[in-house]
Structures are given as C-alpha cells and as structure tokens.
Amino acid sequence: MITNNLALRHGAPGFADRLGGNRLRRTRVPVPPPHRGFTLVELVATIVIAAILIAIAVPNMRMFVEKNRVKLAVGELATTLNFARSEATKRRFPITVCARASDSSCTAGGTSWNGGWLVFADADGNGAIDAGNEILRITSSLPQNVTLESKGFTTPAIMQYSSAGELSVNGKFKICNSEPGYENIARAIDISATGRASVDPATYACSAI
C-alpha cells in the first residue's frame, strides 16, 4: 500500500487524508446585529403617554380604595348584627352589641362606634359586661377614613337583642368616608324592631343619612 510523506509522519495511511480525516474545518461565528437605542423623540413620547395613563388611573384607583374601605366596614357590621341576633334566639337570653372602649368594656356613651364593637352574652340584660358575661365577638377599630355612627336607638352605644332576637326600637347605622373629597361615599344599615339588619343599596352623602 502506498502512503505519502505526510501520512507517514503522522503514522496514518495516505487515504485518510483523502477522506478528510485530518482536515481542519472553519466555523463561522455569527455577527450580532448592531444595537439600536431609542431616539429622543421616542423617549419623550413614551414618557408623555405614561404620564397621561397615570393621571387617569390614580384618581380611579383612589376612589376604588376609599369605596372598598366603606364596603368592608358595612359587611363586617352587618355580619356581626346577624350573628348577635342568631345567638340570642339560639341561647334564649339577651345578646348585646356595644361600641367598644376596650376588648373587655363598652363605651360610656355617644353615638360613635369608630373604635369597633363587642358582642357579649348579657344574661342579666343590664347592657354591661359583667364578670360572668361571655364575650362572643370583638371587632377592633374601623379602617382609616371610615366613621360609624348609630341613630335612633334608645342608648346610642348599645343594641340589645331579646331572647326572641328582637329590639325594643328601630335604629340605623351610617358608615361614611371622612377623607376630604370622598365624603359622598356613605352607606346605611337599617335595623328593624324585629332585629333584622339590612344594608341600604343606595349611596348617599354622609350628611343626608
């Protein structure tokens, strides 16, 4: 078998060269396209559009937040009142809901319930949390910018359900937003003498409730 000198020097037969076994192959490296940045006009246009969108979105978002604060307070109070009425009929003795001064005491008076409220088993029916009375539910202070006042009850800071789940008089709660510019975000909860609490679906200015 005939071999060439290159093949002999590498210790391989000549036909290996012809098959391309020792040939070097060139690899093409792709050249990335040149980077293109934003022009000044494009950048300014983007900033202007973003500013317009933010100006539109921020007031709507703020309105949504303020409405949601009132909505949450309304839902929490309505749930509490229905719970208290249910407990009165189930236990067959008075259940009292009062404006909260602390986690174990009611406020002395006034119409404001901004500090939250308490629900307790009022076995002796005196409207106060005595040593033997069981506290059934505690709701702490209302969300920021939300106010709550009672209207029409004999004692504004106390609601007492009888063993039949009824009240001695009709009453109402008004839940308002106190943030300037959002005073028209207000809702009402009506409580009948039968003890039923219903959320008024209409919205009012707080002063109109």
127-148 pLDDT, tens digit each: 889 888 999 999 998 988 899 9
Residues 6+ away with beta carbon under 8 Å from 114 = 141, 142, 146, 147, 148
Residue-wise over 105-120: b if at least 16 C-beta within 10 A, else e?
Answer: ebbeeeeebbbbbbbb
- Of 26-30, 82-86, 141-145, 148-152, the one with minimum mean pLDDT is 26-30
pLDDT at 16 over 80: no
Q: How far apart are CA 196 and CA 91, in angstroms?
A: 17
Question: Is 193 in contact with 169 (CB distance < 8 Å)?
Answer: yes
Other beta carbons within 10 angstroms of residue 170's beta carbon come to: 13
Domain 46-208 has CATH 3.55.40.10: yes
pLDDT confidence of residue 180:
83
pTM for this prediction: 0.69
159-197 pLDDT, tens digit each: 999 999 999 888 999 999 988 887 778 999 999 999 999
